Structure 1
Amino acid sequence: MMMEEPAFITIPYQEFKVIVQEVHSLRDQIAALESHQAADIERLALDMALDRQRITKLEKVEPQPLQRDRGAILRALIAANGGKMLAKDARQKMHLSKELFSMLLASMDKEIETKPLHSDRRNLVLIIK
């Protein structure tokens, strides 16, 4: 059976001082890097928040004049039908494609509510809020 030697290494004091200085220097460099990293993370978080604000502003689409006119027509059409109307019937009476009608409804989400018809969930009912 072989005995292990102690893991102690003796070095001259001058070399020890150099090693200690290098360790302190490395610690200082690590602290500086961590400080820079924290500042970078903070800056990136701020940039992301500003980007989100810009995207939100871009996503808010104001209705165009024609959309406003169509919105008024749709509100009048629903009002003439007692405040409720099937979306399919309203789209057909307005002679709009499904895409245009969908965009119109999306721009009027604060004025007109959509709910599935209770007897046939595939059909939507438009209700004036």
Structure 2
Amino acid sequence: MMMEEPAFITIPYQEFKIIVQEVHSLRDQIAALEAHQLNDTARLARDIALDRQRITKLETVEPQPLQKDRAEILRALIAANGGKMLAKDARQKMHLSRSRFSELLATMGEYIDTKPYHLNKSAKVLILK
């Protein structure tokens, strides 16, 4: 005949008190870690938002004084051609490289539209707004 082991274990009261204290201590540590994690997450979210704002400020292109002059010249050139002009012709008349002309157009979005030329889709037409 086999003897069955008891379904529960008895321990002295002092040991039980120690175990309960340890469990409460662990719960407190877990709560503190969770609060710390929430604070870190909130701080990271703020840091990301600030970084995005900084990046946006860096990405905005402020026209330089020379670009402002060139912008006025380009607007006058297009106006003299009836409000429309091929971008290639305007670039050549202004004696600008393709990259400089592209930078100039990027700063003039509120004044000039660019559309593909109806006879040659790879060519662009500049139109005064």
Structure 2: which 5+ runs fail to align? none
Residue 61 in structure 1 maps to residue 61 in structure 2:
yes
Listed one character per residue, the Cα deviations across residues 30-52 of structure 1 (whole Å, up to 9, x for unaligned) are: 11111111111111211222222
Name the CA distance, whole Å, in 2 between partners of 1:96 and 1:108: 15
* Structure 1 counterpart of 2:22, one-letter code: E
Listed one character per residue, the Cα deviations across residues 28-86 of structure 1 (whole Å, up to 9, x for unaligned) are: 11111111111111112112222222222232232111101110111111111111111
Using a 3 Å threshold, how does the CA distance of structure 1 residues 18 and 65 change in structure 2: closer, same or farther? same
TM-score by length of 2: 0.87
Q: How far 1:12 moved relative to its partner?
A: 2.6
CA RMSD of aligned residues (A): 1.9
* Structure 1 counterpart of 2:78, one-letter code: I
Q: How far 1:9 moved relative to its partner?
A: 3.5
Q: How far 1:125 moved relative to its partner?
A: 1.0
- Name the SS for the 2:113 alignment partner: strand
| Aligned match of 2:91 | 91
Name the CA distance, whole Å, in 2 between partners of 1:109 and 1:12: 82
Q: How far 1:21 moved relative to its partner?
A: 1.2
TM-score by length of 1: 0.87
- Name the SS for the 1:82 alignment partner: coil
Structure 1: which 5+ runs fail to align? none
Using a 3 Å threshold, how does the CA distance of structure 1 residues 7 and 78 change in structure 2: closer, same or farther? farther
Using a 3 Å threshold, how does the CA distance of structure 1 residues 10 and 70 change in structure 2: closer, same or farther? same
Name the CA distance, whole Å, in 2 between partners of 1:12 and 1:67: 86
Q: How far 1:5 moved relative to its partner?
A: 6.7
* Structure 2 counterpart of 1:55, one-letter code: I
Count of residues in Structure 1 that have an aligned counterpart in Structure 2? 126
Residue 115 in structure 1 maps to residue 115 in structure 2:
yes
| Aligned match of 2:76 | 76
Q: How far 1:111 moved relative to its partner?
A: 1.0
